[in-house]
């Protein structure tokens, strides 16, 4: 979409916008691929979980992948009968387990001790999360395979568990792995799957399902590599294969539309203070990541430091160039920020949450969420 599309819609800012057409485009691409080899796609709802958005995605996926009881309850509310509810979390809590058993179809268990506690159930299919010890993430905070990781059971831990008879092979119905983020290289998945297959051979584990996780973006990827991986798995096991992308589905589809509220002359730069804040896109601060801005340019032109409106001096989005000088009231649009913005947003300083709109191919903007003082007060 272009800046003029947002201007014409006369949106109240700051707001989040999700573009259905972009989401559909990705889902079509994923579904064209997965239908060639029978992979089931779960949308990982941790990436963005607005109810209308979930309802929109629902018909195009086999189910949702969740990371907590509340996400599971939400998934259960939205999904149709027959669609899958998967749950993967580092810990299952005793007081939640009863409800989880009634709502989930598949659970992935993260450690041997949790396996001993929670795998003995007859209601849901239990799988073990394996840590293939293959690190790809550039930032250690994103790396499930960092040294001394809390995520998944690695080979040494499995050896120990089998030696101590803590795990019975025939009870392992599924295997889960997730060890990447923002990757476009299915060769990395191949590498991880190879390790997992070796482990399965070594311990004679014969799972009924395999969840290959999320973390791959699909666009600009050689998706035939994924087909090769799946075909190879199927030469060894007759398994259902799941993938659970999050960012791939909603990342490019999300925008933050904001306005310039004030311009200050710093010693070296002009600072444009926006009506949004890093509260609304916390990964900018958490991971020092630089968001794209639709109406900025690479260099030359008029430079501004874009600042958020909270009291935090580091509430900054970065330095950007614009073709024309910015003025109070001008629109600044962040693009490709759809994953992990709404779900991580916070109320710091009591600044209201952005409204959320869903837009269709006719550029019709539907308001799907709005917050007010009562929400802040409850919080």
Nearer to ligand PLP, 47 or 307 (CB): 47
Take residue 136 and report the two structure tokens written for it: 């790809």
Q: Could you tell me which stretch among 18-26, 196-204, 243-251, 353-361 binds ligand PLP (CB under 6 A)?
A: 243-251
Give which of 160, 240, 169, 156 is closest to 200, Cα–Cα.
169
Instruction: Identify residues 71-100 at the interface with ligand PLP (CB under 6 A).
Output: 88
By the rule CB under 6 A, 248 interacts with ligand PLP: yes
Instruction: Identify residues 174-193 at the interface with ligand PLP (CB under 6 A).
Output: 178, 181
H-type alpha helices, the chain: 3-8, 20-37, 51-57, 69-78, 94-103, 112-118, 155-163, 186-202, 224-236, 247-250, 283-286, 373-378
CB 371 within 8 A of CB 69: no
* Shortest reach from residue 213's CB to ligand PLP, in Å: 5
**Sequence-separated (6 or more) residues with CB below 8 Å from residue 247:** 47, 181, 182, 214, 215, 217, 339, 340
Count of residues of this chain found to bind ligand PLP when the rule CB under 6 A is applied: 16
By the rule CB under 6 A, 152 interacts with ligand PLP: no
How many other C-beta atoms are found inside a 10 Å radius of the C-beta of residue 165?
7
Instruction: Identify residues 341-360 at the interface with ligand PLP (CB under 6 A).
Output: none
By the rule CB under 6 A, 339 interacts with ligand PLP: yes
Q: Could you tell me which stretch among 221-229, 246-254, 290-298, 328-336 binds ligand PLP (CB under 6 A)?
A: 246-254
Q: Could you tell me which stretch among 16-24, 221-229, 241-249, 312-320 binds ligand PLP (CB under 6 A)?
A: 241-249
The residue within the footprint of ligand PLP, chosen from 14, 215, 291, 308 (CB under 6 A), is 215
The residue within the footprint of ligand PLP, chosen from 152, 246, 291, 308 (CB under 6 A), is 246
Distance CA 277, CA 22 (A): 25
* Shortest reach from residue 104's CB to ligand PLP, in Å: 14
Q: Could you tell me which stretch among 40-48, 75-83, 99-107, 283-291 binds ligand PLP (CB under 6 A)?
A: 40-48
* Shortest reach from residue 198's CB to ligand PLP, in Å: 21
Distance CA 25, CA 8 (A): 24
Distance CA 225, CA 190 (A): 8
Place of tokens 């910015």: 326
CB 339 within 8 A of CB 304: no
* Shortest reach from residue 318's CB to ligand PLP, in Å: 22
CB 194 within 8 A of CB 155: no
Nearer to ligand PLP, 177 or 309 (CB): 177
User: For residue 296, which phi and psi values (nearest 5 degrees)?
Assistant: -105, 170
By the rule CB under 6 A, 338 interacts with ligand PLP: no
Nearer to ligand PLP, 132 or 215 (CB): 215
Positions that interact with ligand PLP (CB under 6 A): 44, 46-47, 65, 88, 178, 181, 213-215, 244-248, 339
């Amino acid at each position: 979409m272009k800046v003029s599309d947002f201007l014409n819609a006369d949106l109240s800012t700051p707001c989040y916008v999700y573009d259905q057409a972009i989401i559909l485009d990705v889902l079509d691409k994923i579904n064209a691929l997965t239908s060639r080899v029978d992979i089931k796609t779960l949308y990982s709802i941790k990436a963005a979980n607005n109810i209308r958005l979930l309802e929109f995605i629902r018909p195009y996926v086999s189910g949702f992948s969740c990371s907590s009881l509340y996400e599971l309850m939400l998934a259960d509310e939205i999904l149709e009968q027959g669609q899958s509810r998967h749950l993967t979390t580092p810990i299952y809590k005793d007081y939640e387990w009863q409800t989880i058993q009634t709502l989930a179809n598949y659970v992935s268990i993260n450690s041997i001790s949790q396996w001993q506690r929670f795998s003995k159930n007859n209601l849901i299919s239990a799988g073990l999360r394996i840590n293939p010890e293959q690190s790809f993430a550039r930032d250690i905070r994103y790396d499930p395979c960092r040294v001394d990781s809390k995520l998944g059971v690695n080979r040494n831990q499995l050896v120990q568990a089998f030696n101590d008879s803590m795990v019975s092979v025939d009870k392992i119905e599924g295997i889960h792995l997730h060890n990447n983020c923002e990757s476009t290289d299915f060769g990395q998945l191949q590498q991880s799957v190879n390790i997992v297959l070796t482990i399965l051979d070594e311990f004679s584990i014969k799972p009924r399902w395999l969840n290959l996780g999320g973390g791959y973006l699909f666009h600009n990827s050689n998706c035939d590599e994924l087909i090769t991986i799946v075909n190879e798995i199927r030469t060894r096991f007759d398994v259902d294969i799941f993938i659970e992308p999050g960012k791939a589905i909603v990342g490019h589809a999300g925008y933050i539309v904001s306005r310039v509220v004030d311009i200050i002359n710093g010693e070296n730069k002009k600072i444009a203070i926006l009506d949004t804040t890093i509260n609304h896109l916390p990964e900018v601060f958490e991971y020092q990541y630089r968001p794209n801005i639709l109406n900025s340019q690479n260099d030359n032109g008029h430079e501004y430091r874009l600042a958020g409106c909270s009291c935090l001096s580091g509430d900054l989005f970065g330095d950007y160039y614009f073709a024309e000088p910015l003025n109070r009231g001008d629109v600044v649009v962040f693009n490709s920020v759809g994953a992990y913005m709404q779900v991580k947003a916070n109320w710091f300083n009591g600044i209201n949450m952005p409204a959320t709109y869903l837009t269709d191919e006719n550029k019709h903007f539907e308001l799907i969420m709005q917050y007010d003082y009562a929400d802040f007060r409850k919080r």
